[in-house]
Structure 1
Amino acid sequence: MRTTTMRTLSSQPCAEVECRNNGTCVLSADGQASCLCLEGFNGPRCEFNMCATMPCMNGGICHASGAEARCECPPPFTGVLCEQAICNPVCGNGGSCEFINESAVCQCMPGTIGINCN
């Protein structure tokens, strides 16, 4: 959870603070109001969903932890946003791995053939 402190002049500081996305207003020892955000949210009022800016592709699932978000990729995908297919074994001779009909396959350069472009 993350907290962001906001100054208020009220005798009930949390009455003036609207924490969003189920964040909770808490008071510090000196009476300052702050929002305690649930995992995956940040900002002064917990208004930012960290996974909203992390559009995982190809069935990837965004997980937010602390101050960062990351995609968990299903096989055969990898990359920051699960944008790259992984061919196993790797494509040879400059071939590229593509995801076609739910399978990772090598797209071979002209003059090369075979499952792995060898």
Structure 2
Amino acid sequence: KYIEKGLNKAQILEKTGLSLGVKDASLAIEEGEIFVIMGLSGSGKSTMVRLLNRLIEPTRGQVLIDGVDIAKMSDAELREVRRKKIAMVFQSFALMPHMSVLDNTAFGMALAG
């Protein structure tokens, strides 16, 4: 209700004690495109990616991948989407020291075939 009233992130935090992570985000990523989410610390990057992977659930709205709401996917369907359509590098990642940056980046795709 505070979002509809036009309150900003700081005002919502002050009134509720809750943070606003992502608001009105919309992405169109083409097949085969490599897409990176970058931004300042605390800007919602991790929250956005966790929503896309369904590691967290949105409190409002939908996350659509190829027009399908991922909240309605079965576990098997979600695993398939994670395997073939979404990849992420966690903040505490482990790179293969004998591989180049490009090879490390492509490693997940190589595993997927």
TM-score (norm 1): 0.21
Larger relative strand fraction: 1
TM-score (norm 2): 0.22
Larger relative helix fraction: 2
